[in-house]
Amino acid sequence: MSRRKRSPTGGARQSAIDGEREREPRAPRLALATQLAILIAIFAVATVTAELAGAANVGVAVGVGQVAFAIGLVTLMMRA
């Protein structure tokens, strides 16, 4: 159970009604297919770039692609 006291007026809901608190503008949400396409493109571009930059083998290039994919995934998740 929460130890936080609840206000009888509805808390944040009431302040939003009163106009005291403005919301930050948010970026529009992307469709799932668009997000997947972005992540696949990030992986492919990072892998090819690592291979062209002289990675020791394809496994290393794919590892670089995985790191770029993870960074892109976290970025997309933070935007949602």
CB atoms within 10 A of CB 76: 16
pLDDT at 65: 97
Q: What percent of the chain has pLDDT over 70?
A: 72
Picking from 40, 50, 46, the residue whose alpha carbon sits closest to that of residue 73 is: 40
Tens-digit pLDDT profile for residues 51-67: 999 999 999 999 999 99
What residues have CB less than 8 Å from 16, skipping those under 6 apart?
A: 23
How many angstroms separate the CA atoms of 15 and 21, rounded?
6
pTM: 0.65
Q: What is the DSSP string of 15-57?
A: HHHHT-SPPPP-PPPPPHHHHHHHHHHHHHHHHHHHHHTT-SS
